[in-house]
């Protein structure tokens, strides 16, 4: 996670909002359902529209303050950012990024918009991957699950180097007690 955080996304960046989980039987559906974990998805694409790198950011809620903080952390100032018209994304244009906001609507047709093809595909892929791999996911460590998916995706063209590089980094990383890991989760 720390390694990917040190390299901001560049070029054309598709942004999307997503949720993980939630209680299924409390009578509330959609964005208002209790227990959902909100996160922002960002996909950097090249001029032909092919995905290059991704970044997921868990947030407390979709607020302008949260989006601005994650943008400063993960997005290069010269990037062209494309998002739907969710109110919190408006802060991007107000803070120096070139930002294009597109009305996406709702329902199944909203995922067919070409400007959001890769961000919607990758959100679906991470959800399917997590559902297929884990029996339960802790909200406390959710950002680490997302970071692991990003790590593999961002290195998919360097598969030969993936394991040796991971071992190299693991050997150079000092041990970290659980209490420090828990502190880091609150700021991830």
Task: Read off the pLDDT of residues 53-73 as tens digits, 9 standing for 90 and up.
Answer: 999 999 998 999 999 999 988
What CATH number does the domain containing 171 carry?
3.30.420.10
Q: Closest Cα to residue 15, out of 95, 108, 65, 79?
A: 79
97-115 pLDDT, tens digit per residue, is 888 888 887 666 767 788 8
| Cβ neighbours of residue 132 closer than 8 Å, sequence gap 6 or more | none
Domain limits for position 32? 2-185
* Type and span of the H or E element at 130: helix 117-133
Residue 188 predicted with pLDDT over 60: no
> Looking up tokens 């991957």, which residue turns up?
129
Q: Which residues pair with 87 in a beta bridge?
A: none
Average pLDDT over residues 129-157: 88
Strand stretches in the chain, DSSP E = 12-20, 37-45, 51-58, 80-84, 98-102
pTM of the model: 0.82
**What value does the mean pLDDT take over residues 115-126?**
91
Distances (CA, A) of 187 to 91, 141, 160: 21, 11, 32
Q: How many domains does the chain have?
A: 1
Query: Nearest CA to 118 among 51, 53, 39, 40?
Result: 51
Residue 145 token pair: 């699950």
pLDDT in tens, 3-53: 777 788 888 999 999 999 876 666 666 666 678 899 999 999 998 889 999
Q: Cα dist. 71→17, 61, 128, 129 in Å?
A: 13, 15, 26, 25
Work out the angle between the directed axes of helices 142-154 and 117-133 (0-180°, nearest 10).
Answer: 120
Count of Cβ atoms closer than 10 Å to residue 64 Cβ: 15
């Amino acid at each position: 996670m720390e390694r990917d955080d040190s390299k901001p996304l560049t070029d054309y960046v598709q942004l999307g909002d997503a949720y993980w989980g939630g209680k299924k039987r409390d009578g509330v559906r959609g964005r208002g359902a209790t227990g959902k974990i909100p996160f922002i998805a960002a996909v950097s694409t090249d001029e032909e529209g092919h995905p290059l790198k991704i970044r997921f950011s868990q947030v407390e809620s979709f607020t302008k303050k949260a989006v601005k903080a994650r943008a400063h952390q993960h997005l290069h100032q010269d990037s062209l950012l494309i998002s739907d018209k969710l109110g919190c994304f408006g802060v991007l244009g107000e803070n120096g990024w070139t930002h294009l906001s597109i009305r996406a609507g709702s329902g199944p047709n909203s995922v067919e918009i070409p400007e959001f093809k890769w961000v919607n595909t990758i959100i679906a892929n991470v959800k399917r991957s997590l559902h297929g791999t884990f029996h339960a996911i802790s909200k406390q460590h959710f950002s680490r699950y997302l970071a692991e998916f990003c790590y593999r995706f961002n290195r998919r063209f360097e598969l030969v180097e993936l394991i040796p590089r991971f071992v190299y980094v693991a050997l150079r990383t000092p041990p970290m007690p659980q209490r420090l890991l828990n502190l880091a989760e609150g700021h991830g």
